[in-house]
Amino acid sequence: MSLYDDQRAMSRRVAEALGDELRDQVAFVGGCTTGLLVTDALTREQACSPLSDTEESGEP
């Protein structure tokens, strides 16, 4: 299972837990939803991938 699939499953679980009435009143933005909006498979996997130690620290 890819990170995309994991994030999609997490979002689905949260959406289902909210129930129909509350789910209709919220929008899912940022975090794990960002990669779900990308349609190109290669870019989507890059958007869903965790940052490396170097990227997190801001070092080149």
What are the boundaries of each domain within the chain? Answer: 3-50
The first and second tokens of residue 31, run together, are 């975090």
Which alpha helices (DSSP H) does 24-52 contain, by range? 41-48
Which alpha helices (DSSP H) does 1-60 contain, by range? 3-23, 41-48, 53-57
pLDDT digits (tens, 9 = 90+) for 12-30: 999 999 999 999 999 888 7
Q: What is the pTM of this model?
A: 0.58
Mean residue pLDDT across the chain: 76
